[in-house]
Structure 1
Amino acid sequence: MRTQYRLGIDAGGTFTDFILADKDGGVQIFKVLSTPNEPTKAIRNGLALITEETGITAEEIVSNSDLCINGTTVGLNALITHNGAKTGLIATRGHEDSIEIRLGHKEDGYRYDPDYPPATMLVPRHLRRGVSERVISDGSVKTPMNEDDVRDACRYFLAEGVESVAISFVWSVLHPEHENRAAEIVREMMPGVRLTVGSQLYPQVREYTRTSTAIVNAYLAPILQRYVDAIDAYFRELGSKHPVRYFQSNGGLALGKVVSDQSVYAINSGPASAPQAALDVAAPWGDKNIITCDMGGTSFDITLTKDGKANVNKNIDFLRYRIGIPMIQVETLGAGGGSIGWIDSMGLMQMGPQSAGSEPGPACYGQGGEEPTTTDANLVLGYLNADGLVGGRLPLDVDKARKAIKTRLADPLGISVEKAAYGMFTIVNNNMVNAIRRVSVERGYDPRDFVLMGAGGATGAHITALAREMGIHKVLVSKLASGLCAYGQIISDVKYNYMAPAPLRLEGATAAKTLDDLFTGLEARGREDLADDGFSEERISIRRSLDMRYVGQVHECTVEIDPFEVTEASLGQIRAAFHARHKELYTYDEPHSAVEVVNVESTIAGHVDKPQRMKIAAGKGAESALKGTRPMVFSTEGTAHATPVYDGSALGAGDTLAGPAVIEEVTTTIVIEPGWKVTLHDSGVYLLTNGALVSAAKPRREKALVEA
């Protein structure tokens, strides 16, 4: 860190988290309620809270920070609520409906469901205008572009009040001149409009994916532009000496201009920092296989890191819209602290996905909510302190929680309030376990080979129950868990992705030179952009990847390689990497089959200085932190038992305790089920282990070794 502070801000659906690190290794966490309708208000409230608790003014913090980083859900919320900008599409005539045809099928999981409704189109049919032009697959022009068609589209868009325009032509990545000329005309006739050019945003083969990505970007660009302008202006008012950085879905930082121009990269920016934070938290134990669970007030996000690398997705359907750019794989479901319990038509209890959010919030918040939520259940079960969350700033009303559960669930089902609450707890846990299996088991990973990392303010109450269900015997929960994504932001690097189409067979000197020239050109652009951003060559690193397939295959897979000179001799190295990746994904490879490349990509990172790790003083024994006991329920019988409650702020390094117990930190509560042992590490991380789960896993591993 070059100056005194570093500030990370992660805006979630219910809470906005703040992490403030100083150059001496001090790291503090703060939380305020999010303000979805006025996102900048939560930032002001958070900085006011930091001033109240530390005595350091917002101006002092910002003017003395080397990095102020913002992860935002503005783009995500706009896409969820379909509240983006009025957008128009200029496409090759005859291809205006490619985004509605959607490659001829619905998303995976619903492909054969006749009752599954079509996705809401971000660009209605009348705002999709065709242009006479055609480029064919070898990059040659079959039909020159009719500029009058572009002008007619602009006149129509102006009359309709269009705010943002996307341009996407067939095979434009091999001949971008038509799109570039169309863009000039749009800028000339619609100078105030936001413009997205498909071949510039996502220069990759596949027309539908490119068009859909361009539309999503155009749909969000004005929203992100207004947000970035407001945030940047506010931080300038506070005396910021460095530009605000924004977190991207690819797991890296970017300047505001990049985020507003390439808004699609900001869709899932909040949870995308979780893998980086998890690796840092787990570093003292050397763990690199980590499943991170982030349960907030609205959603439950899961990310997976294998061998120190996060899963990255490309060409996925996200919220029903195809997005091509690389995104950290985040499995998200409606299972937050605000998830609402309800009874379905068959008389069965369900949890979520609908959420009470922060307004009005769970019934126990006392803000008008009447529906029973996960937080209400945890309060009734005794896991949460009725004195309140976030250090008592958000008091909880047990009577309102009990009333909501009794009225909506317990009485209709003919059971006690405690049994209903434990049922809510169990169901929401099962929902989360199923989601964890989607990022692990369904991708060929055994979750028992991973460490479970707790993140988010609500996860601590569920973490040992989730680990028990998954058979995971080791859990890590940082004192910063409720703001882990904000912490991940302040230790992350600047990262940009540069792409190019490369439709060629992987053989011969010509192919090798083409690939080498493409990579060299992309990386020269990346180095130049990072140099302009103040990064020296020593702080820049490069990762390469290629989208490849066997000749004749319809779909390709992404293969990562190290940066090296691509020669005819080294093509064998790339082919070998492809065969290995194909076998890993699909259980077989075809070493004697011809291989072809479709696209290439270089990821360029500018490495920033990392703040010092938190350091906790040695403890005096867990007994010194014991606050008393509280009745808690740990079984379906609904019977409460007096359970020890420990003050997390009074625990020190080396302090050890056993479950059942609860550890109360200022911004999270950790529920330790029976059978678990907890030790606080000097890095401020709780290590939770369960010997019974280790013993259960041992026969499985021995059997696997014998079979191997």
Structure 2
Amino acid sequence: MRTQYRLGIDAGGTFTDFVLAERNGNVRLFKVLSTPSDPTRAIRNGLDLITEETGIAAGEIVANSDLCINGTTVGLNALITHRGAKTALIATRGHEDSIEIRLGHKEDGYRYDPEYPPATMLAPRYLRRGVRERVISNGTVHTPLNEDDVRAACRHFLNEGVESVAISFVWSVLHPAHELRAAEIVREMMPDVLLTVGSQLYPQVREYTRTSTAVVNAYLGPILRRYVEAVDAHFAALGARNPVRYFQSNGGLAKGSVVSDQSVYAINSGPASAPQAALYIGEPWDEKNIITIDMGGTSFDITLTRDGKANINKNIDFLRYRIGIPMIQVETLGAGGGSIGWIDEMGLLQMGPQSAGSEPGPACYGQGGEEPTTTDANITLGYLSDEGLVGGRLPLDRDKARQAIRDKLADPLGISVEKAAHGMFTIVNNNMVNGIRRVSVERGYDPRDFVLMGAGGATGAHITALAREIGIRKVLVSKLASGLCAYGQIISDVKYNYMAPAPTRLEGAEAAKKLDTLFGELEARGIADLEADEFTRDRISIRRSLDMRYTGQVHECTVEIEAGSIDEAGLDAIRSAFHARHRELYTYDEPHSAVEVVNIESTIQGHVENPKRMHLAAGKGADTALKGRRPMVFDASGATTDTPVYDGGKLGAGDRVSGPAVIEEVTTTLVIEPGWTADLHESGVYVITSTTAA
């Protein structure tokens, strides 16, 4: 680290987490309630809290930080609630409705459901205008651009008060001149709108994916731009000497100007840092196969790393919108501490996906919430202390929790409050286990071959129950778990993706030269961008991938290759890598069939120096941290067990806690079920293992 501090901020649906790392290895975690109506207010509140607890002025911290990093849900929330900008689309005439036709595809699980409603269009029909122009599949112009059509579209958009415009033409990636000229006209006639050009944002073959990605980017652009400007201005006023970095969905950092222009990269930026944090925390045990689960107040996020690499998705339907850019694969469920329990029309208990969020929050928050939530169940079961969350700054009311469960669930079902609470706990756990299976079993991975990494403030109460249910026998939970994503941000690199279309049969010297030239051009751009950001060449790395298929196939699969020059002999290695990848994904390959490349991509990373790892002093035995006992429920009978409670702040390296027990950290509570043991490692990580026979 070049200066004294590094600050990571992760804005979630309920809490905003702050991780402050010092040069000497001291790392501290702070939490404040999120403020969805004004996300920047939570940042100000968090900095005030840091000042209050450390005695160090926010300006001093910011001015002496080499990196201040922000992961935000602003884009995600705008997409979920459909509160983005008023967005228009200029398309090739006849293709205005491609985002509505959606290749004739209905989301998996609803394909044969005639009652399933269509997706809400981010660019409504009256704001989609076609213009006369046409480029054909070899890149030649069939119909020149009619500039009068573009001007007519602009006049219409001006009358309608449009804030953002997307431009996407057919085969524009092979001949972008029409899009670029249309963009010039839009900038001339509509200087105040935010403009997204499809062939620049996502220069890849596939018109629907490119158009949809451009529309999503345009829809979120003004929202993210206003947010970035507000955050940047606040940090500049505090004396920041370095630009604020923003975390992207691809798992890397970027400047605010990049996020403003390419807002689609910020959609899922918060949980995308979890894999990086998990790998770093698992390093002392050489753990590279990790399933990370992050349960906050609103959602439950799952990510998977295998052989040290996070799963990356491209060309996916996210919240019902096709997005082409690479994103860390995050499975998100409506299963958080605020998930509401309810009884369906068949008289069965259900949990979520609706959430009480932070306003009003669970009934036990005492802020007016009346619905029973996961957090209410956990305090009723005895897992959470009446002293409250976040070191007592958020007190909990056990009586209000019990009352909500009794009124809404227990009495209608004719069971005790304890049984109802354990039923809530079990159902929300089953929902989360099903999500874990989706990222593991359904993709060919056995979860028993992975360790489970706990993240998020609410996860600790469920971690051993989830591991037991899924068959995982080793769990890692850092003392920083409730802010793991914020921690992941401060140990992540700057990362940009550069793409190009490359429709090429993988044969002959000409194909090798074409690929070598295209990769060289992309990587020269990336290196220049990072060098302008003060990264020296020795701190820049390159990863390459190609979207490939057998000739005649409809869909491609992504194949990673080594960086370096590509010659005709090197094509054999690329073909072999494709055959192997195809066999891995689909159980077969066709080694005698011709192979073609569709798109290529270079990922350029600027490596950031990591802060020192946390180091704990040796403990004096778990008994010295025992703070009391309280009755807890561990099975469906509703019977209570007198259970020891330990102060996590008084445990040291080497201390062991055997279940049943609860360990209370400032920002999370770990429930160690019967049959599990927790050992605290010197790196500040609880290693929780099953003591029952496999």
The letter of the residue matching 1:410 is A
Deviation at 1:632, TM superposition (A): 0.2
SS in structure 2 of the partner of residue 502 of structure 1? strand
Query: Matches of 1:174 and 1:412 in 2, distance apart?
Result: 64
Q: CA deviation at 1:41?
A: 0.4
Provide the rounded CA distance (Å) in 2 between the counterparts of 1:487 and 1:101.
41
Hey, what does 1:475 align to over in structure 2?
A: 475
Q: How does 1:111-510 map to 2 (within 5 A)?
A: 111-510=111-510
Name the SS for the 2:510 alignment partner: helix
Compare 308-317 and 581-590 and name the one that shifted more.
Answer: 581-590
2:686 partner letter: Y
Matched, 1:574 2:578: no
Tell me the alpha carbon deviations over residues 581-604 of structure 1, each in whole angstroms, 9 at most, x when there is no partner.
111111111111111100000000
Pairing 1:37–2:37 present: yes
The answer for the alignment partner of 1:665 in structure 2 is 665
Partner in structure 2 of residue 15 of structure 1: 15
SS of residue matched to 2:576: helix
Look up the equivalent residue of 2:433 and give its one-letter code. Answer: V
Secondary structure class of the residue paired with 2:36: coil
The 2-side partners of 1:54 and 1:545 are apart by: 46
1:641 deviation in Å? 1.1
What is the alpha-carbon distance in structure 2 between the residues aligned to residue 580 and residue 638 of structure 1?
52
1:272 match: secondary structure: helix
TM-score normalised according to structure 2 size: 1.00
Quote the offset at 1:552 in angstroms: 1.0
For 2:201, give the aligned amino acid.
L
Alignment coverage as a number of residue pairs = 694
Between the aligned partners of 1:134 and 1:109, the Cα distance in structure 2 is 36
Aligned to 1:618: 618
Distance 1:441 1:594 in 2: 32
In 1, the alpha carbon distance for the partners of 2:177 and 2:111 equals 37
1:524 to 2:524 alignment: yes
SS of the aligned residue for 1:386 comes to coil
Q: What amino acid sits opposite 1:179 in the alignment?
A: E
Deviation at 1:691, TM superposition (A): 3.1
TM-fit CA distance, 1:380: 0.1
Deviation at 1:148, TM superposition (A): 0.1
Aligned to 1:701: none
Equivalent-residue separation in structure 2 for 1:174 and 1:665 (angstroms): 56
The amino acid of 2:573's aligned partner reads Q
> How many Å separate the matches in 2 of 1:589 and 1:409?
54
Q: CA deviation at 1:251?
A: 0.1
Which contiguous aligned blocks of 4+ residues in structure 1 show a shift greater than 4 angstroms?
none
- Partners in 2 of 1:611 and 1:583 — Cα distance? 40
Q: Secondary structure in 2 aligned to 1:601?
A: strand
Give the match's secondary structure for 1:516.
Answer: helix
For 1:549, the equivalent position in structure 2 comes to 549
Alpha-carbon distance in 1 for matches of 2:48, 2:644: 34
**Take 2:219 and 2:570, find their aligned partners in 1: how far apart are those partners?**
42
Q: 2:534 aligns to what?
A: 534
Give the counterpart letter for 2:567 in structure 1. T
The CA distance in 1 between the partners of 2:426 and 2:94, in whole Å, is: 52
1:92 aligns with 2:102: no
Cα distance in structure 2, aligned partners of 1:556 and 1:76: 28
AA in 1 matched with 2:112? Y
CA deviations over 1:214-254 (Å, ceiling 9, x no partner): 00000000000000000000000000000000000000000
Q: What's the CA shift for 1:121?
A: 0.4
1:112, distance to aligned residue in structure 2 (A): 1.6
Aligned-partner Cα distance in 1 for 2:562–2:360: 50
Structure 1: 5+ residue runs without aligned partners? 697-708
Q: Tell me which residue corresponds to 1:561.
A: 561
**Alignment-derived partner of residue 597 in structure 1:** 597
Amino acid at match of 2:605: A
Partner Cα distance (2:110, 2:321) in 1: 14
Deviation for aligned residue 1:105 = 1.7
Amino acid corresponding to residue 618 of structure 1 in structure 2: A
1:39 alignment partner AA: P
Separation in 1, partners of 2:503, 2:134 = 19
| 1:705 aligned residue | none
- CA RMSD, aligned part only? 0.5
For 1:351 and 1:411, how far apart are their aligned partners in 2?
A: 17
Which residue of structure 2 aligns with residue 644 of structure 1?
644
Q: CA deviation at 1:562?
A: 1.1
Which deviates the most, 217-226 or 561-570?
561-570
Paired with 1:461 and 1:587, the residues of 2 have a C-alpha distance of 39
CA distance in 2, matches of 1:616, 1:154: 62
Letter in 2 for 1:157: F
- Residues 478-509 of structure 1: CA distance to partner in whole angstroms, max 9, x if unpaired? 00000000000000000000000001111111
Tell me the CA shift for residue 657 of structure 1.
Answer: 1.4
Tell me the secondary structure at the aligned position of residue 16 of structure 1: strand
Offset of residue 110 of structure 1 = 1.4
Listed one character per residue, the Cα deviations across residues 506-530 of structure 1 (whole Å, up to 9, x for unaligned) are: 1111100000000000000000000
Q: Distance in 2 between matches of 1:115 and 1:386?
A: 46
Paired with 1:458 and 1:330, the residues of 2 have a C-alpha distance of: 18
Distance in structure 1 (CA, Å) of the matches to 2:274 and 2:122: 29
Residue type at the aligned position of 2:144: P
Q: 2:634: which partner in 1? A: 634
**Distance of 2:568 and 2:111 partners within structure 1:** 42
TM-score (structure 1 length as normaliser): 0.98
For 1:382 and 1:433, the matched residues in 2 are separated by: 23
Distance, in Å, in 2 between the alignment partners of 1:91 and 1:311 is 33
How big is each residue's C-alpha offset from its partner over 1:14-53, in whole Å with a ceiling of 9 and x where there is no partner? 0000000000000000000000000000001001101111
Equivalent residue of 2:232, what SS?
helix
Aligned residue for 2:391, secondary structure, equals coil
Q: Determine helix, strand or coil for the equivalent of 1:514.
A: helix
Distance 2:519 2:262 in 1: 21
1:257-276: CA deviation from partner (whole Å, max 9, x where unpaired): 00000000000000000000
Deviations 1:265-319 (A, max 9, x none): 0000000000000001100100000000000000000000000000000000000
Match of 1:704 in 2: none
For each residue in 1:347-394, what CA deviation from the matched residue of structure 2 results, as whole angstroms up to 9, or x when unmatched? Answer: 000000000000000000000000000000000000001111000000
> Counterparts of 2:343 and 2:615 in 1: how far apart (Å)?
47
Local SS of the residue matching 2:302: strand
CA separation in 1, counterparts of 2:454 and 2:552? 44
